Structure formats: C-alpha cells, structure tokens
Structure 1
Amino acid sequence: MRRNVLWGLVFTSPAIIGLLWFTGYPVLGNTLCIVLWSVPLGIVVALGLALLLNLGVGGRSVHRTVFHLPTIVPAVASGVLWMYIFDPQYGLLNDALAKIGVTGPGRLSEPAWAKPALIVMSAWGSAT
C-alpha cells in the first residue's frame, strides 16, 4: 500500500508542482496582500463610523447612510459605483484632484494602482 502511494505521488508530482507554482503562488500572494491591508482598514473604517454614530455630531443621518450602504447596495451596483469613482478620465476622484492641480492615475487600469483600489473597495464593503 505504501509503495503504491509513493509511486502515485511520484507520477502526480509534476502536476502538483505545476498547480502550486502557477496557480497557488500567485493567488495566495495577491490574496495575502489584499487581506493584510483590507482587514485592518475595514476595522478602522467600521470603528470610525461606529464612533461617529454614537457621538453627538451633526450629520448623523449621513453617517448612518454611509454605514449601512454596503449592505443595501447590490454587488454589481457597488462595482459600477467604484468604477465611476476611479475612472481615469471622468471619475469623481480624479476630477476632485484636478481641481487642486493634481493629475490622478488610472486606478483600475494601471497595475500599480489596481491592488490599492481593490483594497479600498473591499474595506468599504467590509465596514458593516
């Protein structure tokens, strides 16, 4: 029995190594990066919103709306909203930056900015 298992592992090892190298490593590396940033950021955002809801500051209805919006808005609508915010030409974020004289990057089209944009999107969605 042990000999059959050993030969089975010998013959399947190229496929196992290929699967781990070409699929497992890239997926776990990107996932680990996003998790290490989005989980603490989501906790900070949720804690900040919860503190704002409990303080006697003005605009509590706005804070409540921002806090409960990720649970109400479907995932597709949320994705369209973030694409509208992060659009390189007509996005709200780059438009606001252009008003103060800063040229913003294409956050969803440039590889260096795609991961931080995904981290912000997931932190907003996990704040509730």
Structure 2
Amino acid sequence: MVQYNETRLDASFAALSDATRRGVLEQLGRADASITDLAEKFHITLTGMKKHVSVLERAGLVTTEKVGRVRTCRLGLRALEEEAAWIERHRGLWSARFDELDKVVEELKRKEKADGRKKTR
C-alpha cells in the first residue's frame, strides 16, 4: 500500500482548493512574477496576494526571493507526484465502483424488460 505524508497532502490540497491560488500557479507556470504583478493581474490587494502566496509557499508549490523591494515568485521545485498518486488511487477505486454499479443497472434493466414481456403475454 502506498504511504502518503498526510501533512503534505493537507497543505497541498488546501493550497489548491482556492481558485486564485490555482490561477497563480498557472501564471507562474508561464513566467516568474512579483507579488505586485500577481495582485494586479488577479485584481486583489497586495496583502491578499501575500497571504495566497504564503499558503502556496508553505505547501512547497511556490518559492519567493526578495531582491531590494521586489519579492519575485516562481514555481516550487517540488512536483505534485504524491498528490497525483493519491488522486489516481482514489479515481481507480471510484471507477471500479461505478463499473460495478453499471453492471447492477444493466442487470435490473434486463430483468425489467423480461418481466415486461411476461406480463404482456
């Protein structure tokens, strides 16, 4: 069985749960950006963007570097392999459950159709 670092997963999924933070990750996937640039792009206050970036930073998804008065953000070095593995494992479980449900529904449809033929005779 795969072992997951629950604290890391919690931090990652909490960071990814917000649309603005997901947008920041997409933006940083294209190019590094200052917190000021990100705040302007997402039409939020500098303080609000700093909070979003700190959540992403705690999750290891973003790193920042301050040079002078400018704090530049870039994607973190850590990939989301552990999170992807967790999602894939659960996707597989749900997929198997839905496949079984499909079989039950098809069997019920066959029985219903067969019962309908018996009643009309």
How does the TM-score come out when normalised to structure 1? Answer: 0.28
The answer to which structure, 1 or 2, has the higher relative contact order (CA under 8 A, 6+ apart) is 1
Larger Cα-atom Rg? 2
How does the TM-score come out when normalised to structure 2? Answer: 0.29
Q: Higher helix share goes to which structure?
A: 1
Q: Higher strand share goes to which structure?
A: 2
